[in-house]
Amino acid sequence: MLNSFKHSRPIQFGLLILIFLFSYFLVPHSENSYFWRLPPLLKELPLWISTLLDNLMFKWFTVDVWDPVWKDYEEKTIFRIITRAIASSVLFIIIFIREIFLGGAQTLGTLFSDTWIDANKWLSWPALPWTAVVAGASILGYQLQGIRLALLAGTGFAYLSVFGQWEPSMQTLSFVLVSAPVCFVLGLSFGIWGYLNKRVEGALQPILNTMQTLPHFSYLVPIMVLFGVGDHAGAIATIIFATPPMIRLTILGLRKVSPDIVDSGLMSGCNKFQLLFKVLIPTARRDILIGVNQVIMQCLAMTTIAAFIGAKGLGFNLKVALNSLEIGKAAEIGLCVVLIAVILDKYSLAWANKQKDYFANLNFFQKNKPYITFTLLTLLGVILSYLGALYFEDSINYLYYIPFNKGFTISPFLDAGIDWIWEAFFVYLNAFNVWLITSVLVPMKDAYLGMPVISTFIIVMGAGYIIGGIRSAVIVGSLILFIALSEYWDRALITAYMATFAVLISAILGIVVGSICAQSNFASKTILSICDFFQTFPSFIYLIPVILLFGITDTSVMIAAIVYAVIPATRYTVEGLNSVPLSLHEAGTMSGVSRLQRWTNIELPLALPHIMLGINQTVIFALFMVILGALIGTIDLGQIIMGALSKKGGAGIGLTLGIFVSFMCLAVDNLIQTWANERKRLLGID
Amino acid sequence: MSSSIMPTNQKQPVIRCTSVFKIFGDNAKAMLAGVQDNVDAKAFQDAGCIVGVNNASFEVFEGEMLVVMGLSGSGKSTLLRCISRLTDATAGKIYIDGQDLLAMNNKQLIELRRNKMGMVFQSFALLPHKTVLENIAFPLQVKGVSTQDSIKKAMDMVELVGLMGRENYFPRQLSGGQQQRVGIARSLAIEPDIWFLDEPFSALDPLIRKEMQDEFLRLQGVLNKTILFVTHDFDEALRLADRIAIMKDGVIEQLDTPANIVLNPATEYVHKFTEEVPREKVLRIESVMDPVNDSEALSDLKVSKDAIIETVAEAVLSEQNPVGVTDTNNDIVGVLHPSKVINVLFGGRANHPNH
């Protein structure tokens, strides 16, 4: 009996759930009992963080700085000088790139005095005609992949212009064009450092984990405090969010280089520098460029969130449209974001997969064909815009620059369609909405809120102990303890309930759909490319259609979270099932298994570790979407994090709560990873 | 002993190893302190250490090809990596041209590799982003040779390994055999004195392998490098080697000429390899000839004492009289009786080491 208990995880989990239920119903709901709620010992933490930032910015390490305007020395802290210097240089580069696309005189303003600029109106960058940008996008697409990408990129950019979204689109693009290279350089450098030094890698891992699981909102306030408000602050927030995957993929790619290649480099007489830049990095090129792809996607995902601290562009317009419930307009802007995301995604993937060709025997024109074509087409675009200036005279020159909202628009149609949907389906949608909220969500929420803190620890640490022994139990327990000791435990429970619900539904949907699709090669390929497509959408895009259907309710957030989180669950299920070796399938077939038997006895057990890693992603995705749901109003941690944006001393609150969410992710991550790794080891798969 | 292929011992050996140990594990150094002879692998394993190379001592002379033969896990590649210092030996001394390899600092080591060593890898280990020509020129460019000169030299190498017309291909566009030709050309580009080959033909199909071995012998005939060649294929070792070192569990079981190994296997383990070897393919005439006896009438045919028996057997057996054996100066140094050849061809393989 004892022996069977030792070896049977189901029995162990059964006992755990039994103990959990006992504690759940036996512990009195009394505010004085520590079994019910722990005292908020860490209440002061947000304040400490805010005070620390305050002191760094305004009190500690001061120096006197000459102020040219007041003609006097002013006391400033070194920290503030440094952060503001970073801020202004980032801002300068963003504006510079923006002026290439849109024209302007701001960057020239740093060369000449303001009065001089005002006096000489001719002194400003002319905008690049949009036709030239479209030509450039097509040529780039053609160079990277071929005619299909050229057409996609060309029509995509033309759409942006013709539909009057040129200005915010180019603002967003310039924002990405500054953030992504910085992420690339930072990610590559840290990745190389981590590769060369085990200790650095060990230190990087937890930091990267936390950075990647921190909700985007939470570090907006600290960044606002440090760097001010504006495009540069948005860019810096984006850089913090988008660099970790680059670091990871760099380390991964460099580790994957075969040891023989390294040895061959050494035997060729490379020194350390040559080995790194001539052997290792070029060999790991593809992985590193996949990192670039990730960086670009993350940058676009941040555009709306960066709008909260003053980044201009599509994200800002989208936020305004969502706030004023102009769904048609929001959908139109969302489409532009998706277009840019898809094009940049295809660009970077094509670049990663493009293999070097040999071109030494070409002459000057053949070698520089794309540049020459681009120059010629740009000239053509300039000529066209001059002709346009003559033709359109004093009205808008449609061949040069189409101002914001002056192009075609489809939002009236969209709005009409939305109205029709509302009228036709409102009864059903509303009935579903009410049913879901009253009979599922509210009872579930109450059940979570009625959970004594001791029960939470029993279930979480118990699971940790069964899966990973005492080590896992302690890690998971201390992550949760940190949250339990704060004032925000109830809010955290609400976040947890929403995430749990979304994860459950997503996991079931994903595994079912994935399993069905994995039965045929064609269906697998189709579903994977659908996943690819939807994964390029920045997360907040998902909020647009659900608000349209369900209004501003918890249901909207839930549905958005489910749709968003079902992607990794499906993808990992298909991948996991497809990775089961063919020989095992054949062995099964020859043993005479039916389809269902094959699925339950061969495919699922072997694929389960990989599927669980997908569930891990699902948890993170769902939590992110739930937090993002604060955009349309929920009452969990996300709402407070958002609220912190406009509060004094909000930096501490935002960061602390962000860390709470991150810790929830990390606890789940620890459990699943431990289990999956052990399982993989037992099955002998990697 | 076939003295003609054994260089005279007055010359300084190009590679000299004395009591080289390579032991993987944290406290290997401490455990090795004071050890004189072979170590007990079992005791080390219990202490969490793995013995890679166990007390290897040997010398390789200029122009000689030493083949290190062993099955996987025998430590043959580890030994090679110790001598190329891709890994540091735990104990012992390694001298390259009289210089102490293990005492060299990183800069000296890079200098040594840039000027004296070349290495070929089992997995080819070509750089995927460089063309054939760029791959071959790589060691030169790393050294600081100008692009023009290095490409010119690389072009010569392309010609040497017979890849003309493919110099602008990328490794991914070549077959395995062709890729290894590039690997060989790259390792030879700096004109090294010492040539390391780590199972260079093991990843190739049998037919291609044979072709590459012939090619390799042709190259060695032209270049006459000092070679350390690692293989797990005993036939390959017999075909190529001047001398063979057979390794098992990190220990060199026997180090001798192919003929001597086949005729006198030193241990049971070596004997297992040799018993299936057709001896006419290994033995040279010299090892079966008799002293010159003036009373005997010799046939007109003469054979070289270095010839492999198999290659001349048919001619010798079709003669009526015994055949004269000549040395390199064409002087008769012995007599070959057909009966001896028949004995080698059909006499069974009764040369058990203990008999």
pLDDT for A114: 64
Closest residue to A260, CB basis, from B123, B143, B168: B123
B194 strand-pairing partners: B117, B226
Asked if A355 has any chain B CB less than 8 Å from its own CB, the reply is yes
Q: Determine the residue among A257, A263, A264 to mutate to test chain B binding: the one whose Cβ has the most chain B Cβ atoms within 10 Å.
A: A264
Asked if A430 has any chain B CB less than 8 Å from its own CB, the reply is no
| Interface contact B129-A285, CB threshold 8 A | yes
Q: Which fold would CATH assign to domain A2-50+418-683?
A: MetI-like fold (1.10.3720)
Quick check: B1 pLDDT over 50? no
Mean residue pLDDT across chain B: 85
pLDDT for A585: 81
Distance between first and last Cα of chain B: 20
* Residues belonging to chain B: 355
Nearest-by-CA chain B residue for A282: B129
- CB–CB of A318/A337 below 8 Å? yes
Q: Which fold would CATH assign to domain A80-100+164-355?
A: MetI-like fold (1.10.3720)
Gap from B110 CA to chain A (nearest CA, Å): 5
Angle (CA) A113-A119-A122 rounded to 5° is 100
Q: Taking the alpha carbons of A500, A503, A505, A508 in that order, is the dihedral positive or negative?
A: negative
pLDDT for A112: 64
Nearest-by-CA chain B residue for A260: B125
Closest residue to B142, CB basis, from A269, A282, A283: A269
Between the alpha carbon of residue A437 and those of residues A504, A550, A560, the distances in Å are 16, 11, 15
CA distance A81 to A79: 5
Q: Quick: pLDDT tens for B227-249.
A: 999 999 888 898 888 899 999 98
**Chain B hits for A278, Cβ within 8 Å:** 127, 138, 142
**Chain B hits for A271, Cβ within 8 Å:** 106, 110
| Interface contact A263-B119, CB threshold 8 A | yes
* Structural domain spans, chain A: 2-50+418-683, 80-100+164-355, 129-162+368-409
Interface of A with B in 264-303 (CB under 8 A): 264, 266-271, 274, 278-279, 282-283, 285
Domain A2-50+418-683 and domain A80-100+164-355, same fold? Reply is yes
Q: Which two tokens stand for residue A546?
A: 């659900």
CA distance A465 to A453: 18
- Give me the interface pTM, i.e. the ipTM: 0.80
pLDDT for B82: 92
Q: Which two tokens stand for residue B28?
A: 């290997």
| Interface contact B125-A263, CB threshold 8 A | yes
The H or E element that residue B55 is part of is strand B50-60
Residues of chain A with confidence (pLDDT) below 50? none
B303 strand-pairing partners: B325
Asked if A258 has any chain B CB less than 8 Å from its own CB, the reply is yes
pLDDT for A194: 92
pLDDT for A562: 92
Quick check: B352 pLDDT over 50? no
Closest residue to B142, CB basis, from A258, A261, A268: A268
Order of strands across the sheet with B50-60? B50-60, B15-24, B91-96, B99-100
Q: Quick: pLDDT tens for B148-172.
A: 888 889 999 998 888 888 888 889 8
The SS3 of residue B325 is strand
* DSSP secondary structure string for all residues of A543-608: HHHHHHHH-SSHHHHHHHHHHHHHHHHHHHHHHHHHTS-HHHHHHHHHTT--HHHHIIIIIHHHHH
- For A367, what's the count of Cα atoms within 13 Å in the CB-facing half-sphere? 7
Q: Quick: pLDDT tens for B196-207.
A: 999 999 888 888
Which domains are seen in chain B, by residue range? 60-279 (3.40.50.300), 280-346 (3.90.1280.20)
Of A271, A252, A95, give the one whose Cα is nearest residue A187: A252
**Chain A hits for B121, Cβ within 8 Å:** 260, 263-264
Q: What percent of chain B has pLDDT over 70?
A: 94
Q: Determine the residue among B81, B127, B187 to mutate to test chain A binding: the one whose Cβ has the most chain A Cβ atoms within 10 Å.
A: B127
Q: What percent of chain B has pLDDT over 90?
A: 21
Give the phi and the psi of residue A667 in degrees, each rounded to 5. -65, -50
Helices A130-144 and A327-353 pack at an angle, to 10 degrees, of 40
**Chain A hits for B128, Cβ within 8 Å:** 282-283
CB atoms within 10 A of CB A419: 12
Q: Quick: pLDDT tens for A16-57.
A: 888 888 888 877 777 777 777 777 777 777 777 777 877 777
